[in-house]
């Protein structure tokens, strides 16, 4: 499938009747082009043109010269900048979040943080939480993180101190922690989903079978990815029903402009399928008919009116709500991009085999 072209260069320059002047201008033009290409590589900048009239770009962009772990786009996927500076080679990231002017990346090697200025992202390890971190998420009282041995930590507002919380939670191996709008706390674990309405003093086992790895809330509806597909609740997470199951597990969930998007595994086709819902998660429609089928599709995000999908081929983009897709960023080294969005910025984390 065709991919998008590199940064556009000047299409013409002034002609002269003098052949000497033409040669001189041509020489200057070539020098300028070489300088521009070298500068783009040094800055780790990937540049892609807008989609053509038929929604398909032309050619792939240049290769970054930096560590190729994490990229960002601030212009709707037209250009991509490598923002891996400060991250260790081979980093295995799990969860990514922006909050209170700070970027946080949970990884196998620990928790990394950076400021949010688009042109000055530089990562440093959070020495106060020097351990494997599998999840990070916001909370009104401060950020929360899940570390090794399923211990949950909270970072108090305005401090660099992480304190253990919910130390009495011994029900199951914790994987994620989620704060609902009503103040309830949910812990997704290998043994299901647990809810506390009293700050962690007691826990109600609201999903009892199989693991839960992501919880989402929007407009009074809660969704979660589970071992049995996508689950839905409309009573604050007390009771759940299965709303999307094709024989396999729920992979991913996110909000979109008019509802939700999800990825689940279909056991008949042996592929991951991409779905959207515009009725609060009651029903789901496919948006992947023209997306190359794969068992390693990782994530789906919407920025503006466009969808972006992390895929083994690279990052696919759709400008028509999933009716058609084109390859906007090619994959490298058989890795898959996991996509995150915050404030209109797209972040792409390269990982082996996707999420």
Instruction: Compute the distance between CA of residue 187 and CA of residue 147 in angstroms, rounded to an integer.
Output: 13
pLDDT at 149: 80
Residues of the chain with pLDDT under 70: 1-67, 118, 353-355
Residue 285 confidence (pLDDT): 97
Residue 9 domain flag? no
Question: Which residue do the tokens 């997306």 mark?
Answer: 291
pLDDT at 218: 96
Q: Please work out, in degrees rounded to the nearest 5, the angle formed at the alpha carbon of residue 316 by the alpha carbons of 311 and 319.
A: 150
Q: Which CATH number covers residue 238?
A: 2.130.10.10
Residue 30: strand, helix, or coil: helix
Are the CB atoms for 300 and 339 separated by under 8 Å?
yes
Task: State residue 332's pLDDT score.
Answer: 79
Q: With respect to residue 174, please indicate whether it lies within any of the assigned structural domains.
A: yes
57 in any annotated domain: no
pLDDT of residue 118: 66
pLDDT (0 to 100) of residue 342:
85
Q: Is residue 102 part of a domain?
A: yes
Q: Is 82 helix (H, G, I), strand (E, B) or coil?
A: strand
Q: What is the pLDDT of residues 43-84, one digit of tens each?
A: 333 333 233 333 333 333 333 334 688 999 999 888 999 999
92 lies in some domain: yes
Q: What's the pLDDT score for residue 158?
A: 74
Write out the two tokens for 229.
């597909």
Identify the pLDDT of residue 228: 94
Tally the domains of the chain: 1
* Residue 181 CB coordination number (10 Å): 11
What is the pLDDT at residue 213? 95
CB atoms < 10 A from the CB of 50, how many? 14
Find the domain containing 314 and state its range. Answer: 70-352
């Amino acid at each position: 499938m065709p991919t998008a072209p590199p940064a556009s260069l000047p299409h013409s320059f002034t002609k002269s009747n003098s052949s000497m002047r033409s040669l001189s201008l041509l020489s200057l033009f070539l020098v300028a082009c070489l300088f521009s290409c070298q500068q783009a590589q040094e800055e780790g900048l990937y540049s892609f043109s807008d989609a053509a009239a038929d929604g398909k770009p032309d050619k792939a962009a240049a290769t970054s010269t930096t560590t190729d772990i994490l990229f960002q786009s601030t212009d709707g996927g037209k250009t991509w900048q490598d923002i891996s500076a400060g991250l260790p080679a081979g980093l295995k990231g799990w969860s990514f979040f922006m909050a209170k002017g700070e970027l946080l990346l949970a990884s196998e090697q620990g928790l990394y943080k950076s400021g949010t200025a688009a042109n000055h992202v530089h990562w440093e390890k959070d020495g106060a939480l020097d351990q494997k971190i599998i999840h990070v998420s916001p909370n009104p009282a401060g950020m929360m993180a899940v570390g090794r041995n399923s211990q949950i930590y909270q970072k108090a507002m305005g401090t660099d101190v992480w304190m253990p919380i919910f130390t009495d939670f011994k029900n199951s191996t914790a994987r994620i922690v989620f704060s609902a709008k009503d103040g309830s706390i949910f812990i997704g674990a290998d043994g299901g989903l647990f809810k506390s309405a009293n700050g962690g003093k007691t826990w109600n086992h609201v999903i009892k079978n199989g693991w839960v790895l992501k919880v989402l809330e929007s407009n009074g509806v809660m969704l979660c990815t589970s071992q049995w597909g996508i689950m839905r609740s409309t009573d604050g997470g007390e009771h759940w029903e299965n709303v999307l199951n094709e024989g396999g597990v729920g992979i991913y969930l996110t909000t979109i402009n008019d509802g939700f998007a999800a990825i689940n595994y279909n056991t008949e086709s042996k592929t991951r399928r991409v779905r959207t819902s515009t009725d609060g998660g009651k029903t789901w429609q496919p948006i992947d008919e023209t997306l190359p089928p794969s068992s390693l599709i990782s994530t789906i995000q919407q920025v503006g009116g466009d969808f972006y999908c992390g895929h083994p081929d690279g990052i696919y983009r759709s400008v028509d709500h999933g009716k058609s897709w084109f390859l906007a960023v090619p994959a490298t080294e058989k890795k898959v991009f996991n996509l995150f969005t915050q404030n209109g910025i797209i972040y792409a984390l390269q990982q082996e085999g996707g999420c």
